[in-house]
Structures are given as C-alpha cells and as structure tokens.
Amino acid sequence: MSRPVAPGRDDPVVVDRALPPHAITWLIDALRSTQEVIRSYDTKAQIMGIIFILSINFVLTLIRDLIGVGPIPPAATLSLAAMVLLPLGLFGYVLFPANNPVGDLDLGGQPVRHSYFVDRRGPSLADYLVDVEATDWATELGFEIMKMARLRERKRRRLLRALLAAGASYVLILGIMLLVAW
C-alpha cells in the first residue's frame, strides 16, 4: 500500500501489519523506559566521578597520615595523576558517547523515515507532516528502541569499566604510597 510522501522523496514500500491497538503504547513505553535507564547511567557516572574526585584527596591524606609519607617524588606524582585522570576520563566517556549506534543496526530492509526525532536541518513543516502521515510508527519506534538499547548497553559497559578503573586506582595509589614510604 502506498502512502503520501513529501515531494522529492522516494516512496519506500511500506509493509502494513495488523498490530494490536495497544502495541504502539507498549513501544512508546519501552522507548521511554530505555531512555530513563540511559539517563540513570549518566547520573551515576556524574555522581561517581564527583565522589571519586572528593575521595582521592581523603585517601591520599589518610594514607600520608597513617604511613607517614614525606614529599612525593615527581615520578610518583605523575603516576598518581595518571591514576586519577584515567577513571575521570572513563566516567566522562559514559556521558559523551563518541559515535552514533545507528550504523550497527540491521533494519532488515524496513524503511525508517526518522520522523520520531528531527534535527535542525529537517524538512519544512509541510514536508514533515506528510512524512508523519506516511510513517509506519511500529517500524519507527522499533528503530528508536533498538538504537537506544544499543546506546544503553554501551553506557552500561563504559560505566562498569570506569568503576573498575576507579577501584584499581585506589589499590595502585595505596601501593605507590607504600613504596614511597619504604
């Protein structure tokens, strides 16, 4: 079945399928849930980054007082700086993903009009409204859910890496301070 298309755009073959009346609501709920999880990973990364920064000073002061470390040599200072900056960079990498997950998606030949999110360079209002009428919303929402699910998984893995790096930094800082003390 052919649907109206904005002038100058190709008319893709749209597959009409019988969907239960509540299917679109479920898809929107799934998309909303995925977006909430992504935001929670961003919040966790921000909070853990701040806690990491604040706790490093506490840990260094505590270790200095317990072990009685004097001035820290320049090589140890550079090592400590690297161990602090690496986890902070990884926490930032959670917040700002480098690439768009769309390239990895297998659309199975389904046409996606990208009507759900429009950027500044989008079509005119008239063209957009025609596209909205012609959009297969199950396909459109499914595409957005798949894209957000990929982004969610990337952020989860990156947050875990940042947390592991922060834990390793604490252990290595203790080791460096012990070496400096002896």
Assessment of whether the complete model's pTM goes beyond 0.85: no
Domain count within the chain: 1
Residues in the chain, how many? 182
Amino acid at 3: R
Q: Say if 168 falls within a structural domain.
A: yes
Residue 173 lies in a domain: yes
176 occurs within a structural domain: yes
Over its length of 182 residues, how does the chain's per-residue pLDDT go in tens digits?
334 444 444 444 445 566 777 888 898 899 999 999 999 999 999 999 999 999 888 877 777 777 766 677 788 778 888 888 999 999 999 998 777 666 666 667 766 767 667 766 667 888 888 888 888 888 888 888 888 898 999 999 999 999 999 999 988 888 877 777 77
Residue 126, token pair as written in the block: 């008239």
The answer to whether residues 111 and 13 touch, using CB atoms and an 8 Å cutoff, is yes
In a domain, residue 84? The reply is yes
What angle, 0 to 180 degrees and rounded to 10, lies between the N-to-C axes of helices 137-181 and 74-95? 170
Alpha-carbon span 137 to 21, nearest angstrom: 12
The answer to whether position 12 is within a domain reads no
Amino acid identity of 4?
P
Q: Is residue 4 part of a domain?
A: no
Q: How far apart are CA 53 and CA 182, in angstroms?
A: 27
Q: Is residue 64 part of a domain?
A: yes
Q: Which domain holds residue 42?
A: 23-101+114-181
Could you tell me if residue 160 is inside a domain? yes
